[in-house]
Amino acid sequence: MPDAPGPVAAGGGRTAVAAGYPVCYDRASMATSVHSTAVVYPNVQLGDGVTVGEYVVLGTPPRGASPGEHATVIGADSVIRSHTVIYAGNIIGAGFQSGHATLLREFNHIGDQVSIGSHTVIEHHVEIGDGVRIHSGAFIPEYSLLEPEAWVGPHVTFTNTLHPLCPRAKDCLRGPRVRRGAKIGANATLLPDLEVGEMALVGAAAVVVQDVPARMVVVGNPARVVRSIDLLTCPYGLMDSPYNVTSER
Ligand X SMILES: CC(C)(COP(=O)(O)OP(=O)(O)OC[C@H]1O[C@@H](n2cnc3c(N)ncnc32)[C@H](O)[C@@H]1OP(=O)(O)O)[C@@H](O)C(=O)NCCC(=O)NCCS
Find the part of the chain contacting ligand X (CB under 6 A) among 4-12, 43-51, 125-133, 199-207.
Answer: 199-207
Q: How far is CA 187 from the centre of its chain?
A: 17
The interface with ligand X within residues 224-243 (CB under 6 A) comprises: 226-227, 232
* C-beta atoms surrounding 36 within 10 Å: 11
Find the part of the chain contacting ligand X (CB under 6 A) among 26-34, 60-68, 106-114, 220-228.
Answer: 220-228
CA distance 79 to 241: 34
> Judged by CB under 6 A, does residue 220 bind ligand X?
yes
Among positions 205, 209, 214, 239, the unique one binding ligand X when judged by CB under 6 A: 205
170 SS3 class: helix
**Minimum separation from the CB atom of position 227 to ligand X (A):** 6
> Judged by CB under 6 A, does residue 34 bind ligand X?
no
Peptide bond just before 167 cis, omega within 30 deg: no
**63 vs 249, which CB is nearer to ligand X?**
249
Identity of the residue numbered 81: R
**Minimum separation from the CB atom of position 197 to ligand X (A):** 15
**6 vs 222, which CB is nearer to ligand X?**
222
Q: Are 64 and 82 in contact (CB under 8 A)?
A: no
User: What are residue 56's DSSP bridge partners?
Assistant: none
**Minimum separation from the CB atom of position 120 to ligand X (A):** 13
> Judged by CB under 6 A, does residue 203 bind ligand X?
yes
CA distance 122 to 144: 9
Among positions 65, 121, 219, 239, the unique one binding ligand X when judged by CB under 6 A: 219
Question: DSSP string of 16-67?
Answer: EE---TT-B--EEETTEEE-TT-EE-SSEEEETT-EE-TT-EEEEPPTTPPT
CA distance 209 to 41: 40
CA distance 1 to 239: 60
> Judged by CB under 6 A, does residue 91 bind ligand X?
no
Among positions 89, 95, 117, 153, the unique one binding ligand X when judged by CB under 6 A: 153
Number of residues that bind ligand X (CB under 6 A): 14
> Judged by CB under 6 A, does residue 117 bind ligand X?
no
**144 DSSP assignment:** -
- Residues near ligand X (CB under 6 A) are 153-154, 185-186, 201, 203-205, 217, 219-220, 226-227, 232
